[in-house]
Amino acid sequence: MNAGSWQPDPTHRHELRWWDGNEWSDHVSDHGVAGIDALHPMATWSPPAASPTAPVISASPTGPPPVMPTMTIAATPPVAANGRRRSGVIAAGVLAVVGLGIGGVVLFGGDDEPSTGTATSQTLAVSSTVAPTGVPTSTATTAVVTTVAATTSTAPTTTVAVTTTLPGATVEQLVEAMPQADDVPASWFLATEPNIAPEASFGAGVGYCGGDNAMARAQTVGADAAINGPSFDITAGGSFSVDAYAFPTSEGAAAFLQATEAQVSGCVTPATYEVPESEFDMFEPGYGDTATWSFVEFPTATYAVTNDADELLQITMDTAVSTTDGGYDYGLTITDQTWYEQHGRVVLVYNLYGWWGLTGFGDEGDPEWAFQPTLQAATDDSAVVRTQIVMRLTDMGLL
């Protein structure tokens, strides 16, 4: 093939490329518009052996391609939106002694704030298609070169706040997210089903220092839904439960945690109250029926560093319980490890509960059913159920 011709570009970067009869050139053409594009790194491609299949060329070139004029067009880049900011705090639950519930809350929220960009300019090349000297032109040998004057204008920008509203959680969704039989060890026995209508209350043995319980605090900051439980017997004398509270926003969650921490911190002196044996029912029938038990609470709250949740508020409360009957002193300690763990706008409240340190009951040391909850035990037990609960909440669109 001795004569030059336009042929399909072997690099596939353009519609046509000029074959000068011996090798491929840097001259290219796209829809009748000529340009220059160096062949490398495709220079090793071989020229076609057969006749070209390019469109029929109508005329011969009169000279090399002219220098291409440019035009400048003002362009505004797309508006980029900031990612949703997730914030919140985890709230603490209320210890209830002897049959009274323990509660907690979770919150999530965020907002999207659009941001505006700065206008930039782009330079576009426009030229007619003219083949090299002695070479036929492409299909647009009479293409007109058009020069457009560059115009730059600054349009007023408007910032519009965008609020993302997530669907409100329901009690049914929270129940569905709770631990299932397959989620817990075989040694854990289901003690109570979830309570789908926990009551707001306050007073001695209910809230920290006799204040509001978790449900009351949750309602104050506008909870969407709340459940207490389920609870599991994990040892002869220890129990573990999971509560859940859902809020419209993470700000509500933060308020719930802050209220809980403030309630604990407000216990400058230990809270005290009394419960009759008829309600506490510690003695065997026929013993101490007229005794009155004294309860003294010692709660402490600490925000802990965690990678498992947005926020973690750990509350440890030891309650010293004692009475005197028939000239003998009796006592024990009730310990609650209550963790308020925030995942977005949902707060999971884990509670590990046990009695230990019994004195005056005749036997040396604690009975076999005694159980002292520790921070490490609470860490291990919450890890058993956390992943499945969070996955279910996420699948429901609540996180």
State both tokens at 199: 């009551």
pLDDT at 83 over 70: no
CB 28 within 8 A of CB 18: yes
Residue 145 neighbours by CB under 8 Å, 6+ apart? 66, 69, 126, 127, 128
Q: What percent of the chain has pLDDT over 90?
A: 48
What's the confidence (pLDDT) of residue 167?
66
Amino acid (1-letter code) at residue 221 = V
Residue 286 neighbours by CB under 8 Å, 6+ apart? none
Q: Confidence band (pLDDT; 50, 70, 90) for 40?
A: low
pTM above 0.75, yes or no: no
Element (H, E) at 4: none
Give the position of tokens 């000279």. 63
Q: Which residues of 296-305 are buried (b: 16+ CB within 10 A; e: fewer)?
A: ebebebeeee
- What's the 3-state SS for 86-110? CCCCCECCCCCCCCCCCCCEEECCC
What's the confidence (pLDDT) of residue 134?
46
Q: What is the pLDDT of residues 334-384, one digit of tens each?
A: 999 999 999 999 999 999 999 999 999 876 788 888 999 999 999 999 999
What's the confidence (pLDDT) of residue 284?
85
What's the confidence (pLDDT) of residue 181?
85
What's the confidence (pLDDT) of residue 366?
87
Q: Which residue spans of the chain are classified as CATH 3.40.1000.70?
A: 106-110+165-395
Q: What percent of the chain has pLDDT over 70?
A: 67
What is the pLDDT averaged over residues 286-301? Answer: 94
| The most confident of 3-12, 107-116, 176-185, by mean pLDDT | 176-185
Return the number of other C-beta atoms located less than 10 Å from residue 212's C-beta.
Answer: 22
**Of 25, 20, 65, nearest to 43 (Cα)?**
25
pLDDT at 282 over 50: yes
State both tokens at 331: 């006592």
State how far the Cα of 61 lies from the Cα of 141, in Å rounded to an integer: 8
Which has the minimum average pLDDT: 57-71, 180-194, 197-211, 292-306? 57-71
Residue 175 neighbours by CB under 8 Å, 6+ apart? 194, 196, 227
What's the confidence (pLDDT) of residue 116?
35
pLDDT at 295 over 80: yes
What's the confidence (pLDDT) of residue 46?
34
Which residues face 273 on adjacent strands? 295
CB 329 within 8 A of CB 359: yes
Higher pLDDT, 158 or 282: 282
What's the confidence (pLDDT) of residue 47?
37
Element (H, E) at 34: strand 33-36
What is the pLDDT averaged over residues 45-63? Answer: 35
Q: What is the pLDDT of residues 116-166, one digit of tens each?
A: 333 333 333 433 444 454 444 444 444 444 444 444 444 455 544 444 455
Element (H, E) at 174: helix 171-177
Q: What is the pLDDT of residues 179-232, one digit of tens each?
A: 988 899 999 999 999 999 999 999 988 999 999 999 999 999 999 999 998 999
CB 107 within 8 A of CB 256: yes
What's the confidence (pLDDT) of residue 362?
75
What's the confidence (pLDDT) of residue 39?
67
What's the confidence (pLDDT) of residue 90?
25
- The separation between the first and the last C-alpha atoms of the chain, rounded to the nearest angstrom, is 68
Strands 346-359 and 328-343: antiparallel
Write the CA distances from 242 to 281, 376, 395, integer angstroms: 26, 17, 19
State both tokens at 26: 């840097």
CATH topology of domain 106-110+165-395: Protein Transport Mog1p; Chain A (3.40.1000)
CB 318 within 8 A of CB 235: no
State both tokens at 328: 């003998």
- Dump the DSSP string for 211-275: -B-HHHHHHHTT-SEEEB--EEE-SSSEEEEEEEEE-SSHHHHHHHHHHHHHHHHT-SS--EEEE
CA angle 366, 270, 349 (to 5 degrees): 70
Which has the minimum average pLDDT: 84-88, 156-160, 172-176? 84-88
Residue 190 neighbours by CB under 8 Å, 6+ apart? 181, 230, 231, 232
State how far the Cα of 329 lies from the Cα of 349, in Å rounded to an integer: 35
What's the confidence (pLDDT) of residue 93?
31
pLDDT at 26 over 80: yes
Which residues face 331 on adjacent strands? 322, 359
pLDDT at 168 over 60: yes
Return the number of other C-beta atoms located less than 10 Å from residue 22's C-beta.
Answer: 10
